[in-house]
Amino acid sequence: MTTISDLPDDLVREIFSRVPLTSLSAVRSTCKTWNALSKNQIFGKKSASKNQFLEFMITDSRVCSLRFDLQGIRNDDEEDFVHPSMKQISIPNNDDQVEIYQVYHCDGLLLCSTKDNSSLIVWNPYLGQTKWIRPRNTFHRSDRFALGYDNNRNHKILRFLYDAERNRTGRGWDIDVYDFSSDSWRVLDVNPYWDERFYYSGVSLKGNSYFFAREVTTEAEVGKEDLLVTDIEDYLLCFDFTTERFGPRLSLPFNPPSPIFEYLTLSWARDDKLAVLYSHYDTSKIIEIWISTKIEPNAVSWSTFLTVDKSLIIGLPDGFSTFYNPRSFFIDEEKKVAVFFGYKGTKTGCYQVVYIIGDNGYFKSVNIGVILNSQLIAGELVCSSYVPSLVQLQD
C-alpha cells in the first residue's frame, strides 16, 4: 500500500508550494521525510525562485501575508502575469486577536507591537511559535523598535523610549535593549548624538539595524525664545547589536537642495543590500532609487538602481505623478522594477494597490485587497523576500 512518505519528491515539493507558510508546521509534522524535504525546499539554495517573493504587511491592524510573483512582468502576454495574493493571518496564542500597530523583521522573525501598548510579540511564522515580551516600563505608541542579533546569533530588541520633553527639545532618546538569552531589559548608556532624531523606522540587515536620522542645528535669536533652524543634515545610522553601540554617520547617495522638502523611504534588496528611495518637492515627478554596493556598520557605498520620471508613464492614476510617495517598496534587480504599495479610493471603497514601475516607461497596477474606509491608509511592507527561520522561541 502506498503511503504519503512514498510520494515522489517533485509532487511533495508541489504540495509544499501551495501550502501557506503559516500552515507548514502541520504539514512538516506528517512524517520525517516531509519534514526533511520541507527544510530543504525552504532553506536550500535551490528553494527560492528569483521571481517569487513572500512579504508580510500590516493592514487594518492585522498582519497579512503577500505572495508576489514577477515571472510574467514585461511579457507581452498578460496571462503570464501571476496576480499577487494577500491573506490575513492569525498570530498563534493571540486568542483575543490583539490589534497590531507596527511590525519589524529580522532573520525570519517578526516583532509586533500591540496597538494598546501593552506588550511586544515576537513571532516565528514558519515554526508557529510566539514569545510575549513585557516592557521594563510602559510602552508608548511613539516608541521605536528594531530587531537584530549579535555575532553569537543571540537575538535582541532595541527600543527608543518616547519622552515628551525630549521629543519637544530634540535632546535625544532613552534607549533600552532586550536580550533573548537573559529574558530581560537593560538600559544602554548610549546616545548617538545629542540632537539625533530618528524619523523613520529602521531596517534590519545582516543582524544590525539601519535608520534614517536627522541632525537639526539651531541657534537662539536675540530677544526671542524660539530657536532658529540654521542647518539640517540627513544620513544613515547603524546600530551594531554585537557592540551595542551606534556606528558613525553613513552618507546618503544624494545631496538635496533642502532636506525639509524631501521624501525618503528605506527598504531591502533581498537579504544583503539596502535600497533608498528619494524624491524632492522641487522635482516631485522624479523618483530615484539607489542600492548599496557595500553596507557595514561603519561604511556604505551606493549605485543608481532606477530613475523614474512619473510624468512619462502612461496609465498612472490622477495625482500620482505629483503627489504620490510610496510608504514602502521593494525592488527586483533582475527585472529592473520597483514595486510600490499604496491605495486607491473608488465609489465602492478603498483598495490596497501594488504599483510596478520599471525603466522605459513600464507600469502596471494591481488591486490586492480592501482597506477599511475608516482607515484609508495603505499597508506598510514589513520585509522584502522573507526567508523562513528555524530560530526557536521559548515563552
Is the pLDDT at 186 greater than 60? The verdict is yes
For residues 111 and 103, what is the distance between their CA atoms, to the nearest angstrom? 5
Q: What is the pLDDT of residue 45?
A: 41
Q: What is the pLDDT of residue 70?
A: 74
Q: What is the pLDDT of residue 244?
A: 93
Give the chain's mean pLDDT: 75
Read off the pLDDT of residues 196-231 as tens digits, 9 standing for 90 and up: 555 556 788 999 999 888 777 666 655 565 656 566
Q: Which residue has the higher pLDDT, 273 or 71?
A: 273
Kindly tell me the sign of the dihedral angle through the C-alpha atoms of 312, 314, 315, 318.
positive
Is the pLDDT at 376 greater than 50? The verdict is no
Give the pLDDT band of residue 353 (cuts 50, 70, 90): confident
Q: Which three cell numbers stand for residue 148?
A: 537584530
Is the pLDDT at 380 greater than 70? The verdict is no
Q: What is the pLDDT of residue 391?
A: 85
Read off the pLDDT of residues 289-320 as tens digits, 9 standing for 90 and up: 999 999 999 999 999 999 988 777 777 666 66
For residues 56 and 386, what is the distance between their CA atoms, to the nearest angstrom? 8
Read off the pLDDT of residues 10-49 as tens digits, 9 standing for 90 and up: 666 666 655 655 565 666 666 666 666 555 555 444 444 4
Q: Give 91-99 contacts, CB < 8 A, sequence gap 24+.
A: 91/63, 91/121, 91/123, 91/130, 92/123, 92/128, 92/129, 92/130, 93/130, 93/132, 93/395, 94/121, 94/130, 97/62, 99/61, 99/62
